[in-house]
Amino acid sequence: MSTRFSATTKAVPTGLVLTLAGELDSATAPAANQAVQRLALRDGDQLIVDLTGLTFCDSSGIAALIAARARARGAGATIALAAVPRHLTKVFGLLGLTDLFVVHPTAEHAQQAPAAEH
């Protein structure tokens, strides 16, 4: 288990960007979940989860991403993932989760694209 993890949030014109960096695993998923619960999402916002700095993600981390999706949808917001690491893209495919999230190459691209929800 790891403790090298950070979750930071910034407001952007389309909503919020939640940046997750480091190792998202069973030890750090609770911190990710707490960060998601603290988000001040409003109806019509887009939550962009930027994974540029994510180096590892286990099943607990995937569960945290799914919980973020549920939180966004519950607030009337959309969600998109940005800069999904190749290893996580492969895992999403193996688990049949590829249609669960809209994915963009960068957080900036996600901000410029029309918000879409799967």
What confidence score (pLDDT) does residue 98 get? 87
Domain locations in the chain?
5-112
Q: Which of 10-14, 52-56, 93-97 has the lowest mean pLDDT?
A: 93-97
Decide if 47 contacts 79 (C-beta within 8 A): yes
Decide if 17 contacts 42 (C-beta within 8 A): no
What confidence score (pLDDT) does residue 1 get? 47
On average, the pLDDT of the chain sits at 93
- Contacts of 95 by beta carbon, 8 Å cutoff, 6+ apart: 62
pTM beyond cutoff 0.95: no
Q: Which of 2-6, 56-60, 92-96 has the lowest mean pLDDT?
A: 2-6
The residue-averaged pLDDT of 106-115 equals 88
Fold for 5-112, please state it: Transcription Regulator spoIIAA (3.30.750)
Residue 12 reports pLDDT greater than 50: yes
Token representation of residue 22: 């480091």
Percent of the chain at pLDDT exceeding 70: 94
Cα separations in angstroms, 111 against 53, 61, 106, 114: 18, 23, 9, 8
Decide if 115 contacts 80 (C-beta within 8 A): yes
What confidence score (pLDDT) does residue 118 get? 53
